[in-house]
Chain A
């Protein structure tokens, strides 16, 4: 993944600066936040109403995270917030201040795909690919917690991620194979 340089325009991300003294408790329409995304620190000013997914996509340019249903149903926008899968369309960016976020862009190491990505490729765990970033992030968080899942456990784990192409068979198969691959490492 190419390194992203901070831009200087207002509201654009910058490299994190040292934390300032605690702010007064006053409601505000704009907030300065610091987040770590895929291991890289960012600092940016956000509108209070900016949803995390739009911050990731529009401010940071990380467009791998998709906006699907916009109604907390489809899971295409799933990212990891401090290690747990969340729907980034149902959280405000300001709430992520101080958090570690991982998006689909954080899975591959240099040019090498993560075993999950490789498994989705090899077992054809996608057709149109729109749900894939969310599926991958959900599966990633799930395998951290349950490295040797049963098929049923996988199906429950991805039940908050909708795929309208595959019928899930190959997605489940891909996650099973990724689990084996990751366990063998």
Chain B
């Protein structure tokens, strides 16, 4: 099917994009990689009157670690995350997630910022970046200029496909705290086939102190709630403990309790809840294995 007719514009600066968003208000949508929005437009689930393409704005695809923070430009493609040696070596949680998003061709176009802004509860970046305790940098209008604000990702997601973005605002960057010396993560996904959304997926990030005691834990859940979820109780349970099998098993139960799955074509709610438990346990084990001497 063809999308309904619309007007297209490709600004070359963020200022222009913000101004256009202000000007056309709810009639306008931003186009990043388009791998979710364009199918939605084809099904006429989204019918923007004006499409503002961010692909011609230079400088939104940076990917670098600076002063203890990984900065991911909003227009970084999933594929760039997947290929980056820095991501592979220092952010295995994110590298795992990048490899299982949609399929390789979709990953050539889809972007991290677009995925986050889309706020799909079944989006892989949501869960992975919640586990990584990411922040979202948002650029919006301020008088005749633009300014930035930063939000924890957790407060960015407000509902299914809903975010804290105000009119005129654009997601421009994702920030992830750089890992400490004994820190690692993992992302595990159950999918019916390549390219499908997750039945369930879980991301974890853990850090140990010199004695092998967990000093930091992040657990993000995908496709088991109205938004990507953080399993806070499971995280708090892990901190201050040695991560033996019994401790990990309990974290799995707590993560399962935090899930709010619904039954659908991808499986019954009880199954999904139990898979949250299983994937949390496996992801914690995998993250531990990845910590040298973990």
A residues near B, CB below 8 A?
A: 25-29, 31, 47-49, 51, 54, 70-73, 75, 78, 84-87, 90-92, 94-95, 138, 156-157, 159-161
Contact = CB atoms under 8 A, between A and B. Distances in A.
Contact of A49 (B2, B35, B194): B2
Given A27-B20, A90-B35, A75 B105 contact: yes
A48 B106 contact: no
Interface residues of B, number: 37
Nearest to B12: A25
14 contacts: A27-B8, A48-B7, A48-B8, A49-B6, A51-B42, A72-B35, A90-B34, A95-B34, A95-B55, A138-B104, A159-B103, A159-B195, A160-B102, A160-B104
- Residue from A28, A95, A156, A161 having most chain B Cβ neighbours under 10 A: A95
B106 A29 contact: no
Interface string B91-119: 00000000000111110110000000000
A49 B195 contact: no
Contacts of A26: 9
B69 interface: no
Interface string B1-23: 11111111111100010001000
Contact of B38 (A48, A78, A92, A160): A92
A147 B79 CA distance: 18
Contacts of B3: 49
B43 to A, nearest CB: 8
A25 B50 CA distance: 12
A72 B101 CA distance: 13
Contacts of B1: 70
Interface in B177-199: 194-195
Contacts of B105: 75, 78, 85-87, 138, 160-161
- For the complex of A and B, list the 8 residue pairs with the smallest distance between their C-beta atoms, beginning with the closest: A160-B103, A27-B7, A48-B8, A27-B9, A160-B105, A159-B194, A49-B3, A27-B50
Nearest to A26: B9
A91 B38 CA distance: 7
A25 B20 contact: yes
Contacts of B194: 159-160
B274 interface: no
A25 B102 contact: no
B2 A85 contact: no
Contact of B8 (A31, A84, A157): A31
A95 B103 contact: no
B42 A29 contact: no
A92 B105 CA distance: 16
Contacts of B159: none
Contact of B39 (A90, A156, A161): A90
A28 B8 contact: yes
A91 B34 contact: yes
Given A27-B9, A84-B108, A90 B38 contact: yes
A86 B109 contact: yes
A145 to B, nearest CB: 9
Nearest to B37: A90
B53 interface: yes
B51 interface: yes
B237 interface: no
Contacts of A28: 7-9
Interface in B36-85: 38-39, 41-42, 50-53, 55, 79
Given A28-B8, A86-B108, A95-B31, 16 more contacts: A27-B8, A28-B7, A29-B7, A47-B5, A48-B5, A48-B7, A49-B3, A49-B5, A72-B38, A75-B103, A84-B108, A91-B34, A95-B53, A159-B104, A160-B102, A160-B195
B161 interface: no
